[in-house]
Chain A
Amino acid sequence: MTTVLLSTRSRLIREPQTWVYAVAVVAAVTVVGLHLIAAAPASPHQHAHHEHSLLPAESLQQSQSAVWTSWMWWVLMAAAMMLPIAARGAGRVARASLWPRRHVAMVEYLVGYLAVWALIGLGAIWLVAGLYPAGAPVITAAVALVAAAAWHVTPWRRRMLRRCGSAGFVNVYGWRADWDCAAAGAAFGRRCVITCGPAMVVMAVSHSVLLMAGLAVVLWSERIRGPNPSQRAGHPQQAWGLLTLAVVVAAWGPLLP
């Protein structure tokens, strides 16, 4: 027992970012929970609306509060999907900081990172609400996925992905340390928006948890540690995954949980 505890403790010391994955899981569970609540008993009128759009009808019709609700969904989804991608960078910043503030450094890094996604999400949701006051049609998500698949294999994206790693040259004392960690997270977030943003547009027009899970798997898969790292960026396999999701959405969009 002591050996297991020691081993776990040792691992947590070597991989201080472990809790970031736990936060992502909590965010994912929250998204699923909220989705189940939102999908609970609906009127026949709402059912009819669901057959043509991907968002709950009421959230799109109650203008401003609906936008804020959608934004909250977005932030939760971004946390669930993107925090695992940011975890390694957070761990690097933690190890670059003084030991007592390693977790503070990671929180600052992740706040900077998620702030970028939150801002982008706010803009995207306002835009979608303006374009589709009655909810985005199913085809929008499918088109967005096809566009994301095309973007996925472009050389520009491949190069940007290679440059995604943040350096973590942070101060270790005072407010500059706080600022540097948050700025490092924001810098990584900006690059993530460029590389993964087109795929995440889908989540601005759909709250499907199945789609969220599928997209997350696609985006994580290209970041898995393994051989030939320089050849793996922009791999066509992920593009095929996005196209498959597009087909699924086009065929069964309104039925997707």
Chain B
Amino acid sequence: MRTRSDVWKLPHAQGEWPQVLTDYERAVGAMRALDPVDGARPTNPLSWLYQAAIHGRALANGNSDTSDPQWSNCQHGSWFFMPWHRMYLRAFEMVVQHFLGDEQWSLPYWYSIDPDHPESSVLPPAFRDDAPGNQLYTTHRSQRANRGRRLGNFPNLATSVKAALEASAFATDDGTDTFGGGRRDDPSYFGDEQGVLEDVPHGTVHVQVGNDYDPRFGPQPIRRGWMGAFSTAAQDPIFWLHHANIDRLWQMWLDADPAHTNPITESAWADTGFTFPNPTGGPPLTWTIAEVIDTTALGYRYDTTAVPSTVRTPAPVLAGGGGPLEAFIPEPEPKPPPQVVGAAVQVPMIADQRTDVQLTPPAVIGLEAFQEPYERVLLRLEGITGTIAAPAYGIYLNVPPGEPVERYPERLAGTIATFGVPEASRTDADHDGVGLTKVLDITPVRDALAEAGQWDPENLNVAFVPLIPEADDDVLEGLDVPDRPAAVSDLRASRVVVLMA
């Protein structure tokens, strides 16, 4: 059984790279050698650009290139996000093993969002080494990352990791409060509903490693890199290590709480299969999700899936179990779906513009005597679209008019990432451009406001604050932008909804 290890903890001699990364660099070089030299379409399935195109590839007009049925197949915004990427990583790992002639080589992971170790958010040295010919280095990456800076707004990232690992369900119909995203079992599917893990923990790393921002120029990236877009993300060698960590967090979520389970009994999820090129030239690699939910069945495990110190874990169950009658206790009925208690439509998500959401008391549904009452308050941002956006936004509630939000940190409901929003906003042959949907649990803020006597049960005021990482002074070097005005974000939500759950 192979072990995927933390890239920061790989053994190595002083001043040298870990052997795993040396091998990885060699394999990347071999794969790039198979790419067409003139920018033509890649045709060899083992080439670097072809492998990246499986995740995404764009046509000149920005739409997804699906001229090869294997391309632009990445699954985002649904319960397929986690399993598809697990298969993609495993197929890629097999390609690397093929080039190395070493079936024991394992993809390391980059735990860039470790709440207990912010220093691990620095890009590992092998990826920053700009020595000529280093296949792991690229200039198509943010300067911050290549200079060894930590990820910006790390406290928000850490909070989002905690929220993801405490999410109670893998999937729900509308993706509300899930680890893995919204259900998709019908060919005519609905909106793209991200799970909590896919949103900030996954998306922010993409955008911050990929793009450079400068607060003086607003939420528009001043330099776009590979990691910042679906269509190019997998061209950056760090992509695979980032996603190995996301894959590990799936196992971590399962291990964190016995109540955390995969929807394995749902055929629409478990029996869905995806196909990838076979590095040995044999028939394509095809897995169903049921075949990949256990990493050991794929031949690997992670060195650790211990949860961060901030994550709540359930108390251990005392030995003895529930006794012989336990098997006869009927399964509890699932809770009713969250109830909408207020909504505003067509909401601009820009700084200094706040939105009021009129609230009504939750209605009596008729099961109150038998079900747990609604306890939590959720804020769902539906149909987020736009082309100009900061990498992340902080969502603040009920900040008094005219007051800066920074003075009210306790009113921060959460953060959202914008990775994938431009792609989800584009209408093309296969997509309706309805944007992404994200959900925040605002119960703690509601409780804090209520305790302070500042919760208005009839109105909720929502403010969106762009979170733009600080830029180095020379970040504009080489760019022709000194007179460029600050960009204005066009980010908006089709609906901002308050729900009781």
Question: Could you give, for residues 1-27 of chain A, a 1 whenever the CB lies within 8 Å of some chain B CB and a 0 otherwise?
Answer: 001001101100110000000000000
9-residue interface stretch from B128-136, B213-221, B338-346, B440-448 = B338-346
9-residue interface stretch from B23-31, B194-202, B250-258, B262-270 = B262-270
**CB atoms of A98 and B188 under 8 A apart:** no
Residues in B neighbouring A159, C-beta threshold 8 A: 429-430
In the docked arrangement, what's the CA distance between A86 and B190, Å?
A: 13
Shortest Cβ distance from residue B183 to the other chain A in the assembled complex, whole angstroms? 9
Given contacts A10-B367, A167-B434, contact A98 B340 (CB under 8 A): yes
Shortest Cβ distance from residue B363 to the other chain A in the assembled complex, whole angstroms? 4
Shortest Cβ distance from residue B174 to the other chain A in the assembled complex, whole angstroms? 7
**CB atoms of A167 and B185 under 8 A apart:** no
Q: Which chain A residues (138-178) contact chain B, with CB distance < 8 Å?
A: 155, 159, 161-173, 176
Q: Is B273 an interface residue (CB 8 A)?
A: yes
In the complex formed, the residue of A with least CB distance to B333 is A10
**CB atoms of B431 and A163 under 8 A apart:** yes
**CB atoms of A169 and B188 under 8 A apart:** no
In the complex formed, the residue of B with least CB distance to A167 is B434
Q: Is A229 an interface residue (CB 8 A)?
A: yes
Q: Which chain B residues (399-450) contact chain A, with CB distance < 8 Å?
A: 429-432, 434
Q: Is A43 an interface residue (CB 8 A)?
A: no
**CB atoms of B188 and A96 under 8 A apart:** no
Q: Is A97 an interface residue (CB 8 A)?
A: yes
**CB atoms of A14 and B336 under 8 A apart:** yes
**CB atoms of A10 and B343 under 8 A apart:** no
**CB atoms of A222 and B367 under 8 A apart:** no
Residues in A neighbouring B269, C-beta threshold 8 A: 227
Other-chain residue from B186, B270, B365, B434 in contact with A13 (beta carbon distance below 8 A): B365
Q: Is A99 an interface residue (CB 8 A)?
A: yes
**CB atoms of A222 and B336 under 8 A apart:** no
**CB atoms of B187 and A227 under 8 A apart:** no
**CB atoms of B363 and A99 under 8 A apart:** yes
Q: Is A41 an interface residue (CB 8 A)?
A: no
In the docked arrangement, what's the CA distance between A180 and B495, Å?
A: 12
In the docked arrangement, what's the CA distance between A92 and B189, Å?
A: 11
**CB atoms of B367 and A229 under 8 A apart:** no
Residues in A neighbouring B341, C-beta threshold 8 A: 98
In the docked arrangement, what's the CA distance between A225 and B271, Å?
A: 12
**CB atoms of B367 and A165 under 8 A apart:** no
Residues in B neighbouring A166, C-beta threshold 8 A: 190
**CB atoms of A225 and B186 under 8 A apart:** yes
Residues in B neighbouring A167, C-beta threshold 8 A: 190-191, 382-383, 432, 434, 494
Residues in A neighbouring B371, C-beta threshold 8 A: 10
Residues in B neighbouring A162, C-beta threshold 8 A: 187-189, 430
Interface centre among B184, B186, B187 (most CB of A within 10 A): B187
Residues in B neighbouring A100, C-beta threshold 8 A: 363
- Count of B interface residues, CB-CB < 8 Å: 47
Residues in B neighbouring A155, C-beta threshold 8 A: 429
**CB atoms of A99 and B339 under 8 A apart:** yes
Shortest Cβ distance from residue B283 to the other chain A in the assembled complex, whole angstroms? 17
**CB atoms of B188 and A165 under 8 A apart:** yes
Shortest Cβ distance from residue A91 to the other chain B in the assembled complex, whole angstroms? 9
In the docked arrangement, what's the CA distance between A109 and B184, Å?
A: 22
Shortest Cβ distance from residue A202 to the other chain B in the assembled complex, whole angstroms? 22
Q: Is A110 an interface residue (CB 8 A)?
A: no
**CB atoms of B190 and A227 under 8 A apart:** no
Shortest Cβ distance from residue A172 to the other chain B in the assembled complex, whole angstroms? 5
In the complex formed, the residue of A with least CB distance to B290 is A227
Question: Could you give, for residues 102-131 of chain A, a 1 whenever the CB lies within 8 Å of some chain B CB and a 0 otherwise?
Answer: 000000000000000000000000000000
Shortest Cβ distance from residue A167 to the other chain B in the assembled complex, whole angstroms? 5
Shortest Cβ distance from residue B214 to the other chain A in the assembled complex, whole angstroms? 33
**CB atoms of B185 and A225 under 8 A apart:** yes
Shortest Cβ distance from residue A177 to the other chain B in the assembled complex, whole angstroms? 9
Q: Which chain B residues (164-207) contact chain A, with CB distance < 8 Å?
A: 174, 184-191
Residues in A neighbouring B321, C-beta threshold 8 A: none
Given contacts A161-B187, A227-B273, A229-B184, contact A171 B340 (CB under 8 A): no
Q: Is B366 an interface residue (CB 8 A)?
A: yes
In the docked arrangement, what's the CA distance between A222 and B185, Å?
A: 11
Q: Is A44 an interface residue (CB 8 A)?
A: no
In the complex formed, the residue of B with least CB distance to A225 is B185
In the docked arrangement, what's the CA distance between A145 and B255, Å?
A: 54
**CB atoms of B186 and A229 under 8 A apart:** yes
In the docked arrangement, what's the CA distance between A228 and B75, Å?
A: 12
Q: Is A233 an interface residue (CB 8 A)?
A: yes
Binding site for A on B (CB under 8 A): 174, 184-191, 267-273, 288, 330, 333-334, 336-337, 339-343, 345, 358, 360, 362-363, 365-367, 370-371, 382-383, 429-432, 434, 494-495, 497
Known: A13-B367, A172-B342, A225-B186; 11 extra A-B contacts, CB below 8 A, are: A10-B334, A13-B365, A14-B337, A92-B190, A97-B340, A169-B382, A169-B383, A169-B434, A171-B343, A171-B345, A223-B187
Give 6 CB contacts A-B under 8 Å: A14-B337, A95-B340, A167-B383, A170-B495, A228-B273, A232-B187
Task: Report, nearest first, the 4 A-B pairs whose CB atoms are least far apart.
Answer: A164-B188, A99-B363, A227-B271, A169-B494
